[in-house]
Structure 1
Amino acid sequence: MIEFTFAQILEGLLLAARWTVLLSLVSFVAGGALGLVLLVMRVSSSRALRAIVRIYIEVFQGTPLLLQLFIVFFGLPLVGVDVSPWVAATLGLTFFTSAYLAEIWRGCVEAVPKGQWEASSSLAMNYFEQLRHVILPQAARIAVGPTVGFGVQAIKDTALVSIIGFAELTKAGTIISNATFRPFLVYGLVALIYFVLCYPLTRYARSLQRKWHAAR
């Protein structure tokens, strides 16, 4: 057993938490960008586009994230594409995030009264102008709560990438716990760090909802 002080254990976990935060930000931003594209396709008048996006969403919502990470990390090398744990984790979380955000935002868009579509159409706006200037600004107010809520979930989902060897917070906790034989202390600190990362986001979402009256 290797002797570590409390400060050394905490320092090791905080260093690993940087990768958790970075992975969360990259996958959420990339997933949000892809989710926005999927949203535009999902609410378009084209049946083919709607069908493609619906299948995409059902596949990624209907299968475990852990399985998706396995397919990316172990499947791509089978077709000649070698990926590092970082790339595999980013791709897997991006696809997973985009599917959920696209569906969350679709519900918010559909919550906007249909009269808004008709009114903007009467002003000779095309489809993209209607979305940009009329529909999405209203849907954004409704989407604040669920989007930030899913962002909190996305941070916790990064713990699954430890299974493919990416050294984020949970993986570092396992390594340190095996080295020190102090699992209660180590995993207690891991849980505390996740709480510190997620709780402010939850509070911020609630404050935005009160400010914008999204609940109404």
Structure 2
Amino acid sequence: MIRAFGPNEVWFILSAVQWTLALSAIAFAGGAVGGLITALARVSHNRIVSGFALGFIRLFQGTPLLMQLFLVFFGLSILGYGVNPWFAAALALTLHASAFLGEIWRGCIQAVPAGQGEASWALGISYFDRMKSIILPQAARIAVAPTVGFLVQLIKGTSLASIIGFVELTRAGQIVNNATFDPFKVFGLVALIYFVICWPLSLVARHMERRFAAIAQR
């Protein structure tokens, strides 16, 4: 039976925001760890390590996120590892984020003037100390804006997790729309919530980009 779109439906959609944010946070945190490892592997002088990292990045950048979600969810099930949508979505998005952040941060590391690395090498500073104290702190400043920009894309990308049954914001909207048949109100509200979450982050990313560009020109 079709019911009217009312406060209960609005609350159901709003309550799903927590799962969108939780999935985004887990994927971003896991992707940050994986991305740092991938970025360091990409700038490694070991060709095997660098090549493996490059293959990982190209695999996840060259395939749709939706396909990655399908492969993780159904692939693990075929192999006999029954997984719930929450775990599958978190794993797929973490791998996706690792590849993209790894490439973003690789570029930021290589943007640090090569002379600084050479000078630290000439002073006998170890690779670990060179990265920890000289290269990565400078690369981090460069990486802030594109990293925040990617976070916006990651939050919006969580909407694809609805296809494997994970009830986040988009899936909650689909459930309510199936009961009310009022897509304009339902998905208008869903779109507004995404806008409220993502737009401030987009502004922060642009502000940081302009700020660091101004600093670099001094």
Whether the TM-score (by the shorter chain) exceeds 0.5 is: yes
* Residue 121 in structure 1 maps to residue 121 in structure 2: yes
Q: How many Å separate the matches in 2 of 1:163 and 1:127? A: 44
Give the structure 2 partner of residue 44 of structure 1.
44
Amino acid of the residue matched to residue 100 of structure 2? Y
Structure 2 counterpart of 1:11: 11
Residue type matched to 1:138 in 2? Q
Match of 2:86 in 1: 86
Question: 2:102 corresponds to which residue?
Answer: 102
**CA distance, structure 1, for counterparts of residue 213 and residue 119 of structure 2:** 23
3-state SS in 1 of match to 2:32:
helix
Q: TM-score, normalised by structure 1?
A: 0.95
Paired amino acid for 2:138 = Q
C-alpha distance in 2, partners of 1:107/1:209?
A: 15
Matched, 1:178 2:178: yes
- Of stretches 120-129 and 16-25 in structure 1, the one that deviates more from structure 2 is 120-129
CA contact (8 A) 1:162 1:168 kept: yes
Gaps of 5+ in 1: none
Map 1:60-75 to 2 at 5 A.
60-75=60-75
The separation in 1 between residues aligned to 2:130 and 2:44, in whole angstroms, is 12
Structure 2 counterpart of 1:125, which letter?
I
| Bigger mean CA offset, 119-128 vs 18-27 | 119-128
- In the alignment, the residues of structure 2 paired with residue 214 and residue 29 of structure 1 have an alpha-carbon distance, to the nearest angstrom, of 29
Distance 1:184 1:215, change over 3 A: farther
Q: Cα deviation per residue 1:26-69 (whole Å; 9 max; x = unaligned)?
A: 00110111111111111111111001001111111111111111
Q: CA RMSD in A?
A: 1.4
Using the TM superposition, name which of 183-192 and 38-47 deviates more.
Answer: 38-47
User: What is the DSSP-based 3-state SS (H/G/I as helix, E as strand, rest coil) of the residue aligned with 1:74?
Assistant: helix
Match of 2:55 in 1: 55
Displaced runs of 4 or more, over 4 A: 210-215
Structure 1 vs Structure 2: percent identity of aligned residues? 54
CA separation in 2, counterparts of 1:100 and 1:63? 12
**Deviation, structure 1 residue 210:** 4.7
1:165 alignment counterpart: 165
* Equivalent residue, structure 2, for 1:30: 30
Is the contact between residue 44 and residue 50 of structure 2 (CA under 8 Å) also seen in structure 1?
yes
- Tell me how many residue pairs correspond in the alignment: 216
Deviation at 1:155, TM superposition (A): 0.2
